[in-house]
Chains A and B, each alone.
Chain A
Amino acid sequence: MSAADGGVSPANAAPAVAAGRLLPPLLILLCLGVASVMVAVAVGSVPIPLPELWAVFTGEGSALHRTLVLELRAPRALAAFAVGGLLAVAGALMQVLLRNPLADPYVLGLSGGAAVGALAAMLLGLGAAIVSGAAFAGALLSTVLVFGLAHGTGSWTPTRLLLTGVVVAAGWGAVITFMLAVGPTERLPGMLYWLMGDLTYARTPWIAMTTVAVACLLAMPLGRSLNVLARGPMQAAALGVPVRALEWSIYIGASLITAVAVTTAGSIGFVGLVVPHMLRLVLGNDQRLILPAAALAGGILVTLADTLARTMIAPEQLPVGVITALLGVPTFLYLLYRSR
C-alpha cells in the first residue's frame, strides 16, 4: 500500500473534514459566552431587564442604567471573561508543554512571583496601578528565574522544569506568608482578596481582551504541532516539529498571558487546571479545538463566578477565586466520575 498513490494532490483535495468537527462546539460556547456576559451585566444591586439592557447598548436608556452598564458592569464582566480565557488557555498550553495533565498556569511559580510583587506594593501603600505593575514584574521575574534555573546546565526536561517551578513556588509561598504575618492589620483584607483573585479594580478589560484574542490567533496554527508534541518530543521531532523552538514559544507565551491575567485580577485559582480538563473529557484532545474552547469556557466560568461573587452576599463581595473553586470542583469531579 502506498499512501502517495492516491492520485489526489493536496491542492485539489476534498475540503477539510476536521473543520466541521471544530465549529459546532465553538459556536455553542460562543453563544454561552455572550449569554454569560449579558447575565453579568444585567444582574446586581439594580437588576436591569433585557429590554432596558438593549436600550443601553443602542445608545438610549436611563442615565443610571448607562453608568451601571457601560462604566461598571460591562468592563468588569469583560475583564472577568478575558481573565478566565487567558488562564484556561495558559493552563492548556502548560499541560501540553509539561506533558502533565496536572499542570496549571501557576505550576511554575508564576502567581507566587506576581503575588510577592503585588503584596509588596500593597505593604508600601502604593496605588492600584503600581500594584498591577509590580505583579506583572514579579510574574516575569519568576518566569525568568524558573526557566534559567531549570535550563542551567542545558539538560532541559519537562520534569526538571516542573520540579524547579514547584520549588520556586514553595519559596514564593513562604515569602507571601511572611508578608501577611508582618503586614499591618488594616491592609490584610486587601492582600487576602488579591491572593484569592479579585476583579473589583478591573476597570480596563482591553489589555486582557486583546491578549486573549492574540493568544488564540497565534495558538491556532500551532495547534496541530501541539497535538504532535503531546505524543512526546522524540515522536514530534520525527514528524517534523521543531520541538525546542515550539517548547520555548509555549513557555514564553503561556507565561506572558498568565502574567496579564494575574495583573488584571490577582491569582484566580482552578480555572487553568480544570477548564482544559473538562473540555478534554467532553471534546477530546485536539488542541486546535481545546485552545479556543478553553478561552471561551474559561471566560464563561470566571464571568459567572464573578457575578455570583458580587451578588451572593451583596453589598459585600466575595473573592472570585472562592466561587471558581466551588463551581469547578464538583463539576470536574462529576465529569471525571462519568468519563471513559
Chain B
Amino acid sequence: MSSVLAADKLVIDIPGRPDGVPLDLAVEPGQVWGVLGPNGAGKTTLLHTLAGLRQPRSGRVTLDGRPLRSYRRKHVARSVGVVFQERQDGFPATVLETVLIGRHPYLAAWDMETAEDVAIARAALARMELDGLDERLVSTLSGGERQRVAIATALAQDPDVWLADEPTNHLDLRHQVAVMDLLRAQAVADRGIFLCLHDINLAARWCDHLLLLYPDGTACWGPAERMLVPEALERLYGQPLARATVDGAQVFVPAGAGTIQPARPESHTRRPS
C-alpha cells in the first residue's frame, strides 16, 4: 500500500513574502509532479516543508490523511525520501557507506546493516551505474557522480514518496535521462514523485502534473498538459519563449536568444515590494 503525501491549505514560510495562494494538492501513487519556478520562488522551501523539515506558515502536510507531524520521524522516513540539492561531506565516507545510510529508517538502534541491506545498497549503486566505486571516498567523486550517489541513497531508502530537489543537477545528458527514467519507473511502481526542476523540457517530457510557483507566492497547478502554456511559463520566468514539437515532445526554448533585451516586460515586476 503506497502512501499519499498531500498539502492541505499549505502556505510555506518565506520571510517577507505575502501568503499568496495556499496549496491544496496531493502526490498520489503513480504521479510525477514537477515544480517549476524562477530562482527564489520557494521551490526548495516547499520541498523541505512537504518533507516535514520546515514549519509551514499555515496549513499542514498530511501523510495518508494524518498530519505529518503526528508520525514519528522514523516512520516518515520509511514513506518519504528526500534528495537534497546541497549535501555536507564534512567527514570522509565511502560510496557504499553513504548509500547504506538510506537503510537507517529500517534498522533499530542496536542493529547492524545486514547482508540484505548491503545487497540493496549495491543494487541501488548498480542502478545508478556506480558499481565498482563502492570503496571510493565520496569526496573524490565528480559533482555528477555525487548526485547519483544521493539518488542511489534515496533508492536504498525505498520510499513511497520521493521529494527530489533538482535531481538532474550536475548530470550529463545521458544521466539526466537515466534519472528521469528511473523516477518515472518508480511512479509506475506505484510511488509518488515530486520534483523541483529548472529545466522546463525535462518537466514537459517526464512530469504528468506541474506546479508553477511564482516569486510572489501565487501558484497554479494541475495536469501537465494544462500547465504547459507558453504565456504562463513566460510570466513565470519573465522570459519570452518559443515552443516547438520535436520527436513528439514539446520543447520550449528562450525566444530572441542572442539578442539583448532592451527592457524587461511588465510581467517581470511581479515581486514582493
Residues of A that sit less than 8 Å from B by CB: 1-4, 6, 8, 10, 13-19, 22, 95-96, 99-101, 220-222, 224-225, 227-228, 230-232, 234-235, 237-242, 280, 284-286, 288, 340
* A149 to B207 Cα, complex, angstroms: 48
The answer to whether B118 touches A241, judged by C-beta atoms less than 8 angstroms apart, is no
**Considering only CB atoms, which chain B residue lies closest to A237 in the complex?**
B53
Contact mask for chain B residues 93-106; partner A; CB cutoff 8 A; 1 contact, 0 none = 11001100110111
Cβ distance A111 to chain B, nearest Cβ, rounded Å: 24
The answer to whether A17 touches B87, judged by C-beta atoms less than 8 angstroms apart, is no
Total A-B pairs in contact (CB under 8 Å)? Answer: 133
Would you give 24 A-B contacts (Cβ < 8 Å), ordered by A? Answer: A10-B107, A16-B113, A17-B115, A18-B113, A221-B110, A224-B104, A230-B88, A231-B98, A232-B87, A235-B87, A237-B73, A238-B51, A238-B53, A238-B77, A238-B81, A238-B84, A239-B102, A239-B157, A240-B73, A240-B77, A241-B104, A280-B91, A284-B97, A286-B97
The answer to whether A231 touches B158, judged by C-beta atoms less than 8 angstroms apart, is no
The answer to whether A239 touches B114, judged by C-beta atoms less than 8 angstroms apart, is no
* A319 to B22 Cα, complex, angstroms: 66
The answer to whether B109 touches A16, judged by C-beta atoms less than 8 angstroms apart, is no
The answer to whether A234 touches B53, judged by C-beta atoms less than 8 angstroms apart, is yes
Q: Count of chain B residues with Cβ under 8 Å from any Cβ of A?
A: 54
The answer to whether A240 touches B87, judged by C-beta atoms less than 8 angstroms apart, is no
The answer to whether B120 touches A228, judged by C-beta atoms less than 8 angstroms apart, is no
**Chain B residues within 8 Å of A238, by CB:** 51, 53, 77, 80-82, 84
> Which of these, A96, A224, A232, A241, contacts B73 with CB under 8 Å?
A241
**Considering only CB atoms, which chain A residue lies closest to B48 in the complex?**
A234
Within 8 A of A (CB), among B216-233: none
**Chain B residues within 8 Å of A1, by CB:** 123-124, 127, 155, 185
**Considering only CB atoms, which chain A residue lies closest to B92 in the complex?**
A285
* A256 to B206 Cα, complex, angstroms: 54
Q: Tell me, yes or no, whether B137 is within 8 Å of chain A by CB.
A: yes
Asked, given contacts A4-B158, A14-B115, A16-B111, whether A285 binds B104 with beta carbons under 8 Å apart, the answer is no
Cβ distance B86 to chain A, nearest Cβ, rounded Å: 8
The answer to whether A235 touches B88, judged by C-beta atoms less than 8 angstroms apart, is yes
The answer to whether A239 touches B77, judged by C-beta atoms less than 8 angstroms apart, is yes
**Chain A residues within 8 Å of B75, by CB:** 240
* A182 to B218 Cα, complex, angstroms: 67
The answer to whether B91 touches A240, judged by C-beta atoms less than 8 angstroms apart, is no
Q: Tell me, yes or no, whether B119 is within 8 Å of chain A by CB.
A: yes
* A138 to B73 Cα, complex, angstroms: 37
* A10 to B114 Cα, complex, angstroms: 8
**Most chain A beta-carbon contacts within 10 A, residue among B101, B107, B185:** B101
**Chain B residues within 8 Å of A220, by CB:** 110
**Chain A residues within 8 Å of B118, by CB:** 17
Q: Tell me, yes or no, whether B205 is within 8 Å of chain A by CB.
A: no
* A231 to B99 Cα, complex, angstroms: 12
> Which of these, B73, B92, B113, contacts A242 with CB under 8 Å?
B73
Q: Which 10 A-B pairs have the closest CB atoms?
A: A240-B77, A16-B112, A14-B115, A240-B74, A232-B88, A221-B109, A3-B158, A238-B82, A13-B114, A18-B112
Contact mask for chain B residues 37-77; partner A; CB cutoff 8 A; 1 contact, 0 none = 00000000000100111000000000000000000111111
Q: Tell me, yes or no, whether B247 is within 8 Å of chain A by CB.
A: no
* A239 to B156 Cα, complex, angstroms: 11
Cβ distance A302 to chain B, nearest Cβ, rounded Å: 24
Cβ distance A154 to chain B, nearest Cβ, rounded Å: 12
Within 8 A of A (CB), among B7-26: none
> Which of these, A3, A16, A224, contacts B124 with CB under 8 Å?
A3
Cβ distance A153 to chain B, nearest Cβ, rounded Å: 15
**Chain A residues within 8 Å of B74, by CB:** 240
Cβ distance A274 to chain B, nearest Cβ, rounded Å: 16
Q: Tell me, yes or no, whether B262 is within 8 Å of chain A by CB.
A: no
Cβ distance B147 to chain A, nearest Cβ, rounded Å: 14
